[in-house]
Amino acid sequence: MQEFIPLIVACSLVLAGCNYSLEKKNSPAAAADLNAPAGQVVLNFDLMEKQVFAPHCFECHSLARRNISPNLETFDNVKSNLSRIESAVSTDFMPLDRPAVPAPQKQLLAQWIALGAPQ
Ligand code: HEC
């Protein structure tokens, strides 16, 4: 029996690792409110920042990175460039030479803007 103990420990560690990655994949943060039933998604600037601007735009439009105008890190900046942002994303002009913003995120952005881009 004694000699099986390390084997059992190793197996448990592997299983624990599996569980961990599954949990990470299914965590609310990773699924990001997108999987919430309609009506439960709070369309606000925070969501846009997490879903659209940070992953797809900050590389170029943030102070700490390439700092290309317009800066998209604050609500006020985004709000005052809304129509340019809307057309740049809907036409895939932005994010420039990077992969287009995925359809669900594009839709979120369009809905948020249609609501009057609430903070
Ligand atoms: C790889 C760098 C890069 C990324 C990523 C990027 N941009 Fe840009 N963006 C630029 C550059 C460079 C310009 C200036 C282009 C020009 O004027 O021709 C620009 C210009 C713009 C403009 C001004 C366009 C106009 O009408 O004058 C807007 C709005 C904009 N970007 C929005 C975004 C949004 C929204 C994202 C994310 C979805 C994004 N960009 C991602 C590089 C980037």
For the CA atoms of 115, 65, 101, 34, what is the dihedral angle to 10 degrees?
A: -60
Which atom of ligand 1 lies closest to the CA of 66? 2
Question: How many angstroms separate the alpha carbon of residue 44 from the centre of ligand 1?
Answer: 21
The pLDDT of residue 41 is 81
How confident is the model over 63-85, as a mean pLDDT? 98
pTM to 2 decimal places: 0.76
The pLDDT of residue 70 is 98
C-beta separation of 105 from 51 below 8 A: yes
The pLDDT of residue 13 is 38
| AA identity, residue 37 | P
Which atom of ligand 1 lies closest to the CA of 95? 41
For the CA atoms of 37, 38, 42, 47, what is the dihedral angle to 10 degrees?
A: 80
The pLDDT of residue 29 is 39
Question: How many angstroms separate the alpha carbon of residue 2 from the centre of ligand 1?
Answer: 63
Q: Give the pLDDT confidence of 35-62 residue by residue, as tens digits.
A: 555 557 899 999 999 999 999 999 999 9
The pLDDT of residue 71 is 98
Q: How sure is the predictor about 2, in pLDDT bands with cuts at 50, 70 and 90?
A: low
